[in-house]
Amino acid sequence: MLASRLLSILMLLQARGRMSAAALAKEFEVSVRTIHRDIDQLSAAGIPVYAERGRSGGFALMDGYRTKLTGLTQPEAETLFLAGLPGPAAQLGLSDVLHAARLKLMAALPANMQPNAERIASRFHLDPVAWFKGADPLPQLQTVAQAVWGERFLKLRYRNSGEIYGRRLGPLGLVLKGGVWYLVAMSGKSIRTYRVAQMLDVEVTEEPFIRPKTFDLAEHWERSSSAYEAGVYREEALVRISPKGMDRLEALGPYIAAAAANSAQKPDRNGWVRCRLPVESFDLGVRDVLRLGEEVEVLGPPAFRAQFAKTLKALTARYQS
């Protein structure tokens, strides 16, 4: 454990340039005193690490020092070959860079690791786009990525609900969700999410954007995604569903399927259960529940049951004629 932490400290200092003892302690979930002991051991091993005092100080490696030691285990090296998504890399304009990086990684691996790494690369393919959906046309994605890499403000026009309006955004990061690219950015003092495919006339400005030091893209995305999902489903339907209908709920999405399973009551003698389904609105809820066919009965609320019955009546009249 100690040797692994010492190697990780060395790699972090090489990658980030300078880190405080407090930052290193937080990274490895140890005390500041433990970090000081680790730094002493690195120095004793001949690693040219030194301390800079002051508010912006910390530990750093001597200029020009690089280590070729990676400490990669075989499973770690193999996993790296799963990390390169060729489709998204091409959308970002990085397909050639990704190919070159994989060749260099392969060349750097010991001979006994190379066959398994090649096997991983040739036998696993990651496709992030859902079935029956093509990738968004993304003429602006590479420009947006340049602003993210270069920490520059973006000027653009954004299309939303049929309207187009101007925006000046501070780019915090790009997220690929279900084959769709989103930009998380600061608009004024608010952090918002924008679909890249809906951006028009994107321009990277010369104005630097200072990214908040405490912002964590993955943490923000997880939190905002959960809030979005909870906010979308504003209504709730009480239904009675057959066993076959419960199996079909996956077609409505994992959020609805989980809500149904968590609220399901004891099955009756025919296996039908009462449960609650979250719906965005009664209009959209009717369309969703219709996908379950004859395997569902809407019990409430009364307004939703009446709207569902009205829709079924209209469908019946159309097909009877």
Q: Which two tokens stand for residue 181?
A: 């690219």
**Per-residue pLDDT for 155 more than 90?**
yes
pLDDT at residue 137 greater than cutoff 80: no
* Mean of all residue pLDDT scores within the chain: 83
pLDDT at 53: 77
H/E element, 223: helix 217-232
Number of other residues whose CB lies within 10 A of the CB of residue 200: 12
Q: Residue 208: pLDDT band by 50, 70, 90 thresholds?
A: very high
- The enclosing H or E element of 37 equals helix 32-44
- Mean per-residue pLDDT for 102-110? 65
Per-residue model confidence as pLDDT tens digits over 14-59:
777 788 888 888 888 889 899 889 888 888 878 888 888 777 778 8
Instruction: Parse the chain into domains and list their residue ranges.
Output: 2-61, 74-123, 141-227, 233-320
Residue 198 has pLDDT above 70, yes or no: yes
Tokens of 22: 């407090």
- Give CA–CA dist 11/67, Å, rounded: 8
Burial label for 161, CB within 10 Å (0-12, 13-18, 19+), is: exposed
Domain 2-61 part of CATH 1.10.645.10: no
Look at residues 209, 204, 135, 132 and name the one whose alpha carbon lies nearest to residue 176.
Answer: 135
Coil, strand, or helix at residue 312? helix
Q: Is 270 exposed, middle or buried (0-12, 13-18, 19+ CB in 10 A)?
A: exposed
| CATH match of 233-320 with 3.30.460 | no
* pLDDT, position 200: 92
Q: What whole-number distance in Å separates Cα of residue 92 and Cα of residue 178?
A: 16
pLDDT digits (tens, 9 = 90+) for 209-248: 999 988 999 999 989 888 887 777 888 999 999 999 999 8
Query: Are 272 and 241 spatial neighbours (Cβ–Cβ below 8 Å)?
Result: yes
- Which residues face 163 on adjacent strands? 160
- Residue 246: is it exposed, middle or buried by C-beta count within 10 angstroms (0-12/13-18/19+)? buried
How far is 165 from 168, CA to CA, in rounded Å? 10
DSSP 8-class letter at 129: S
Express as a percent the part of the chain with pLDDT over 70.
Answer: 79
Q: Which stretch of 124-133, 154-163, 295-304 has the lowest confidence by average pLDDT? A: 124-133
Fold of 141-227: SH3 type barrels. (2.30.30)
